[in-house]
């Protein structure tokens, strides 16, 4: 009989020699000896997990913890599968012996009981009492000593309890278990689903705790910064220069995000509007300041003090933005030569993305050589795809022009690259004002082919700036009062849909 949910490898039964009678589900490195009744230990473990996952909310709030699986073909995966099978084969041999040996079954039932209890909410006292009674360790031991331990009945009882406690996403896996009559195979499949349910519970706890942890993180970081500021009165000097420069940049800023109250000019605006711009608002200055950080000269040591903790993340976003600029530029040039037939295929577009991205590693140090390789690979891919579709191949002149234009992307002053770069920055500014989803509704030409990647970049950027404004909003307010007249109240939250 095949395993249930074969897409998820069975759980590691542990050391075959020392712990052959105790399989493992996904759990912390150390054994949970506190039991399900000790909420303080579980809370501490969850807080640690949330801290690692949240990491100043730099990632998406919808991120969940997932089981890290070893590839089945890998040495570790094969070893894990072998140990797993050895445990269940051993259990089957023990139960089939005459008289049956229940030692492994008792350990397994004890483990399952602990997992079931850990899945209960505090108010589920009736279920807790029922599980404690049905899987009472002492009672099960006495039944085993008499040779009367009813494993088939217990396996069905456990399945019924799993059916009651599991989330809808696990319904399909549980339904498959209902057709299994062999008690060992049923316990094996049930134990596997229980491991997934434990992750479901961890993710539920993470999501419920996140708002409280976020608030605590904001208060803690602000208190730590205030303590340093009292000792170093000049601690905000670089931050003041940063915002001052952002305000100055806005006086010569190109078109901003449309459909926002902060937009002082848009494409095609009239000369009268240009001569009479709306007064700057704090949110406009702050948004421009955050965008400037994505262009920060690494040699410039006057990085804003309030963003030092985020500098590494900003550098990662800058690198991601730079890579997207090159990829989008390549796609835009390539599409002008191959037409809508090829670029109407998402698979073809994704393949060009992968080709370009995989060759980008040495772009910063060797841009010309990198783009030469990219141009050759992309040209070859277009030629082969046209041939496979029975379409006319590129003429010699077109192929030469294509590779030449792709190689020109290596130059910083390349017009295609410059336009794409400006449009991505405009998209990010819109994300800060409108939110990511609304900004994706009206992407400018050249960016639609990287929509998924832009959404990821925009969400990371919004999350980072949102948290930073929550922490340092009061300091930004005081600085901006000296830069903007009349003084306006700083908006400390970025709208994020």
3-state SS, the chain, equals: CCCCCCCCCCCCCCCCCCCCCCCCCCCCCCCCCCCCCCHHHHHHHHHHHHHHHHCCCCCCCCCCCCCCCCCCCCHHHHHHHHHHHHHHHHHHHHHHCCCCCCHHHHHHHHHHHHHHHHCCCCCCHHHHHHHHHHCCHHHHHHHHHCCCCCHHHHHHHHHHHHHHHCCHHHHHHHHHHCCCCCHHHHHHHHHHHHHHHHHHHHHHHHHHHHHHHHHHHHHHHHHHHHHHHHHCCCCCHHHHHHHHHHHHHHCCCCCCCCCCCCCCCCCCCCHHHHHCCCCCCHHHHHHHHHHHHCCCCCCCCCCCHHHHHHHHHHHHHHHHHHHHHHHHHHHHHHHHHHHHHHHCCHHHHHHHHHHHHHCCCCCCCCHHHHHHHHHHHHHHHHHHHHHHCCCCCCCHHHHHHHHHHHHHCCCCCCHHHHHHHHHHHHHHHHHHHHCHHHHHCCCCCCCHHHHHHHHHHHHHHHHHHHHHHHHHHHHHHHHHHCCCCCCCCCCCCCCCC
pLDDT confidence of residue 279: 72
Which carries the bigger pLDDT value, residue 58 or residue 204? 204
Average pLDDT over residues 80-108: 83
Which carries the bigger pLDDT value, residue 91 or residue 238? 238
pLDDT confidence of residue 345: 86
Q: Do 474 and 333 sit in the same domain of this protein?
A: yes
Q: Do 336 and 467 sit in the same domain of this protein?
A: yes
Most confident among 119-123, 169-173, 313-317 (mean pLDDT):
313-317
Which carries the bigger pLDDT value, residue 70 or residue 318? 318
Average pLDDT over residues 24-39: 41
Is this structure's pTM higher than 0.85? no
Q: What's the pLDDT tens digit per position in 144-155?
A: 898 889 988 998
pLDDT confidence of residue 84: 67
- pLDDT at 272 exceeding the cut of 70: no
- pLDDT at 192 exceeding the cut of 90: no
Among 144, 177, 205, give the residue marking a domain's end: 205
84 is a domain residue: yes
Among 187, 205, 223, give the residue marking a domain's end: 205
pLDDT confidence of residue 42: 41
- pLDDT at 196 exceeding the cut of 70: yes
Average pLDDT over residues 53-64: 44
Most confident among 13-27, 80-94, 401-415 (mean pLDDT):
401-415
Average pLDDT over residues 95-106: 87
Q: Do 320 and 193 sit in the same domain of this protein?
A: no
Are residues 70 and 9 in contact, defined by beta-carbon separation less than 8 angstroms?
A: yes
- pLDDT at 474 exceeding the cut of 90: yes
Mean pLDDT of the chain: 79
- pLDDT at 211 exceeding the cut of 80: no
Give percent above pLDDT 70 in the chain: 75
368 is a domain residue: yes
Q: Rounded to whole angstroms, how far apart are CA atoms 177 and 155? A: 11
447 is a domain residue: yes
The verdict on whether omega for the bond into residue 486 sits within 30 degrees of 0, i.e. cis, is yes
Among 205, 220, 251, give the residue marking a domain's end: 205
Q: Do 313 and 201 sit in the same domain of this protein?
A: no
pLDDT confidence of residue 271: 41
pLDDT confidence of residue 488: 47
332 is a domain residue: yes
Q: Rounded to whole angstroms, how far apart are CA atoms 452 and 4? A: 34
Average pLDDT over residues 213-227: 87
Average pLDDT over residues 361-378: 92
In this prediction, residue 206 has a pLDDT band, given cuts at 50, 70 and 90, of: confident
353 is a domain residue: yes
Burial 15-34 (b: 16+ CB within 10 A, else e): eeeeebbbbbbbbeeeeeee
- pLDDT at 47 exceeding the cut of 50: no
pLDDT confidence of residue 34: 39
pLDDT confidence of residue 258: 53
pLDDT confidence of residue 132: 93
112 is a domain residue: yes
- pLDDT at 69 exceeding the cut of 60: no
- pLDDT at 60 exceeding the cut of 50: no
Retrieve residue 436's tokens: 């990511």
- pLDDT at 7 exceeding the cut of 80: no
Average pLDDT over residues 27-49: 40
In this prediction, residue 479 has a pLDDT band, given cuts at 50, 70 and 90, of: very high
86 is a domain residue: yes
- pLDDT at 227 exceeding the cut of 80: yes
pLDDT confidence of residue 44: 40
* From 248-262, 366-380, 431-445, the region with the lowest mean pLDDT: 248-262
Q: What's the pLDDT tens digit per position in 394-444?
A: 888 989 999 999 999 999 999 999 999 999 999 999 999 899 999 999 888
- Domain containing 95: what range? 75-205
- pLDDT at 68 exceeding the cut of 60: no
pLDDT confidence of residue 352: 93
How many C-beta atoms lie closer than 10 Å to residue 260's C-beta? 18
Which carries the bigger pLDDT value, residue 206 or residue 261? 206
Average pLDDT over residues 347-359: 92
Q: Do 191 and 322 sit in the same domain of this protein?
A: no
pLDDT confidence of residue 268: 38
In this prediction, residue 32 has a pLDDT band, given cuts at 50, 70 and 90, of: very low
466 is a domain residue: yes
For the chain, the farthest-separated pair of C-alpha atoms sits apart, in whole angstroms, at 97
Domain count, the chain: 2
Which carries the bigger pLDDT value, residue 491 or residue 230? 230
* From 13-22, 105-114, 392-401, 427-436, the region with the lowest mean pLDDT: 13-22
Which carries the bigger pLDDT value, residue 10 or residue 418? 418
- pLDDT at 306 exceeding the cut of 90: yes
């Amino acid at each position: 009989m095949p395993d249930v949910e074969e897409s998820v490898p069975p759980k590691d039964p542990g050391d075959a020699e020392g712990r052959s009678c105790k399989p493992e589900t996904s759990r912390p490195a150390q054994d949970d000896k506190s039991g399900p009744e000790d909420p303080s230990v579980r809370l501490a473990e969850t807080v640690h997990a949330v801290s690692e996952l949240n990491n100043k909310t730099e990632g998406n709030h919808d991120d969940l913890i997932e089981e890290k699986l070893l590839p089945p073909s890998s040495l570790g995966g094969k070893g894990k599968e072998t140990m797993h099978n050895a445990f269940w084969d051993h259990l089957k041999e023990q139960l089939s012996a005459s008289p049956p040996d229940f030692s492994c079954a008792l350990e397994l039932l004890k483990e399952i009981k602990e997992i079931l209890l850990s899945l209960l909410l505090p108010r589920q006292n009736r279920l807790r009492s029922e599980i404690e009674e049905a899987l009472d360790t002492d009672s099960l031991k006495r039944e085993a000593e008499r040779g009367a331990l009813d494993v088939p009945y217990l396996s069905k009882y456990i399945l019924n309890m799993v059916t009651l406690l599991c989330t809808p996403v696990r319904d399909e896996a549980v339904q498959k278990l209902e057709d299994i009559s062999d008690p060992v195979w049923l316990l094996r499949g049930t134990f596997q689903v229980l491991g997934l349910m434990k992750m479901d519970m961890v993710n539920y706890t993470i999501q419920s705790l996140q708002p409280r942890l976020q608030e605590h993180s904001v208060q803690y970081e602000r208190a730590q910064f205030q303590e340093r500021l009292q000792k170093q009165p000049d601690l905000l000097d670089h931050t003041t220069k940063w915002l001052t420069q952002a305000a100055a940049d806005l006086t010569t800023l190109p078109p901003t995000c449309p459909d926002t109250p902060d937009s002082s000019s848009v494409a095609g605006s009239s000369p009268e509007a240009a001569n009479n711009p709306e007064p700057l608002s704090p949110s406009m200055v702050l948004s421009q300041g955050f965008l400037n950080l994505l262009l920060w000269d690494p040699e410039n040591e006057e990085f804003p003090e309030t963003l030092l903790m985020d500098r590494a993340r900003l550098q990662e976003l800058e690198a991601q933005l730079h890579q997207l600029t090159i990829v989008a530029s390549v796609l835009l040039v390539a599409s002008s030569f191959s037409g809508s037939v090829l670029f109407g295929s998402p698979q073809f577009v994704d393949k060009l993305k992968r080709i370009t991205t995989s060759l980008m590693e040495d772009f910063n140090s060797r841009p010309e050589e990198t783009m030469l390789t990219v141009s050759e690979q992309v040209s070859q891919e277009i030629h082969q795809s046209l041939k496979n579709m029975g379409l006319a191949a590129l003429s010699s002149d077109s192929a030469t022009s294509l590779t030449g234009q792709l190689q020109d992307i290596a130059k910083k002053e390349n017009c295609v690259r410059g336009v794409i770069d400006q449009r991505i920055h405009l998209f990010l500014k819109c994300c800060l004002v409108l939110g990511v989803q609304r900004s994706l509704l009206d992407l400018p030409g050249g960016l639609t082919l990287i929509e998924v990647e832009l959404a990821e970049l925009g969400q990371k950027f919004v999350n980072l700036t949102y948290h930073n404004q929550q922490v340092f909003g009061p300091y930004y307010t005081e600085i901006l009062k000296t830069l903007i007249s009349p003084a306006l109240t700083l908006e400390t939250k970025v709208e994020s849909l």
